[in-house]
Amino acid sequence: IITNEKTKNRFCNKKYNLLVYDDVRSQTSCNKPSIHFQKNDLACVIYTTGSSDTPKGVSFSHSNLSNFVQIAQDAIRYRSDDRCLFSSAVTFVVVIRQILVPLAVGAQVIIADSEHLANPHQFFCLIKTEQVTTMDIVPSYWRVIMDWLSAVRVETRVDLLNNKLRQIVSGGELLLSDLPQRWAREFQHPAQIINVLGQTETTGIVSNNRLSFQIEETIKPLPIGKPNKKTKIFVLNSGLNPVGKDEIGEILISSPCVALGYFKKMKL
């Protein structure tokens, strides 16, 4: 556990290895701690949102995390010179995609706090002043900030959108076609839009669709794209047989990122 001098006493009766941040800063050098683990050992537990049921703790192995970092790099195409916006809560699985994956390729992470997220003007100012290149956002919030952009003075809108954004990742909710069309047509912003599908139980995204804009009047859900590398997605019926075209089925996912199981419902 990484802690500081002020809070370390909370863990004095626990069987944890403590790394006191204040002590490390005061040293000119620090030896690496001796840590031994297997790839299938538990790395962390992150809870689902509980949108359809009671929140459940999903247990991730070190292998889940390392595989996801590699796979997501390819799906979202992060670059070492990227500056990626972290706009999620640390309790959500999105933290893996918004922090670990960019850092793994040498990119920088820019943190948007609650004030930035509550105020669209501050949000876009942060993107511009910090030269953010990748934004990861849910469609409902994207719609809110686009409505705000539409309502402000033209000069303000043009100034804020004169930024370094090169790609926008949309995930966590159904993406309707009017949002990317509006971004391209009304605001004429060149950022690439990537629609992704993911679950807590799969450590994050399992498919991606890099959108090309086709202006249509009909509003419709956008495809989730093709499976990521090392990932297979099946749409099956109740008998676990593939469904036909236009038939409804359940999505089943095969991937090295599928988590160990639900916390307290698995053997560790």
Q: Tens digit of pLDDT for each residue in 206-230?
A: 999 999 866 677 889 999 999 999 9
**Predicted pLDDT of residue 265:** 75
The whole-number average pLDDT for the span 14-37 is 70
Residue 85, classified by CB atoms within 10 Å of its CB into exposed (0-12), middle (13-18) or buried (19+), is buried
pLDDT at 30 over 60: no
More confident residue, 9 or 35: 9
Q: Tens digit of pLDDT for each residue in 165-174?
A: 999 999 989 9
pLDDT at 38 over 60: yes
**Predicted pLDDT of residue 164:** 97
Fill in the DSSP letter of residue 240. S
What DSSP element (H or E) covers 44?
Answer: strand 42-47
Mean pLDDT of the chain: 90
Under 8 Å between Cβ of 180 and 213: yes
Residues 6+ apart with CB under 8 A from 42: 59, 60, 61, 260, 268
In angstroms, rounded to a whole number, what is the distance separating the alpha carbons of residues 30 and 84? 29
